[in-house]
Structure 1
């Protein structure tokens, strides 16, 4: 069974999608951005902090830990800030490194946005 979820603790969805979809003991998190938050007009680093906070709220809602992060895909408009992004990610992961892709893009859905992160989360331990 597929379950589509919008989290009240996240910014309101304004497009034709949901925050996440549960399927086969896996949570697929849509691209999270700073859109609709206080960080929307700030730099990439502040937007990254906001997005990681959103992802943390999702993990809390789902009663999962960072160890359950399977894969992140990160889209940035300025790859030259990679060192700062990596620093934030290392802190966020707390040693539980997931698979990850980072791609530089020319633009995102709104001109204010500098970064977008999507995630895949395991909803059941494999042990």
Structure 2
């Protein structure tokens, strides 16, 4: 099932690990991944105070959810990212680059004042189309 990264000169080139838009032939199952945090399977929180380590754990959690639905990270076509500090953008995308390859998913990142636990620095939800 081909996923295509859409680009146009009418928009600024993305400055992170995401596409301007993504198209996908929806001949599969839509998988809606709830907001994933840096919570490990044992319930502890990874990387307290370290946005890179939390991003890594969040991406691992997204991958685990997509894998449980029969897919891979390549099937992810959209992510929404909630962060406590937008100044962490480059550090977050440094880790995202290890999990997402072209064609990249569409993405929105928003700074929020609080997440569900005071130690959370990032939360990501995702949409995937699994063949």
Is TM more than 0.5 here?
yes
* Counterpart position of 2:67: 60
**How does the TM-score come out when normalised to structure 1?**
0.72
Higher RCO structure (Cα 8 Å, ≥6 apart)? 2
Distance in 2, Cα, partners of 1:29 & 1:74: 12
Instruction: Confirm or deny: 8 A CA contact 1:66 1:96 kept in the other structure.
Output: no
Deviation >4 Å, runs of 4+:
none
**How does the TM-score come out when normalised to structure 2?**
0.70
* Counterpart position of 1:13: none
- Give secondary structure in 2 for the equivalent of 1:93: coil
- Report the aligned-residue RMSD: 1.7
Instruction: Confirm or deny: 8 A CA contact 2:31 2:66 kept in the other structure.
Output: no
Distance in 2, Cα, partners of 1:108 & 1:93: 24
Distance in 1, Cα, partners of 2:117 & 2:54: 13
* Counterpart position of 2:125: 118
Distance in 2, Cα, partners of 1:33 & 1:51: 5
Distance in 2, Cα, partners of 1:75 & 1:98: 16
Distance in 1, Cα, partners of 2:91 & 2:48: 18
Matches within 5 A, 1:20-31: 25-31=29-35
Q: Structure 2: where are the runs of 5+ without partners?
A: 1-27
Instruction: Confirm or deny: 8 A CA contact 2:31 2:69 kept in the other structure.
Output: no
2:50 to 43, 46, 57: 43
Q: How many residues align?
A: 101
Q: Structure 1: where are the runs of 5+ without partners?
A: 1-23
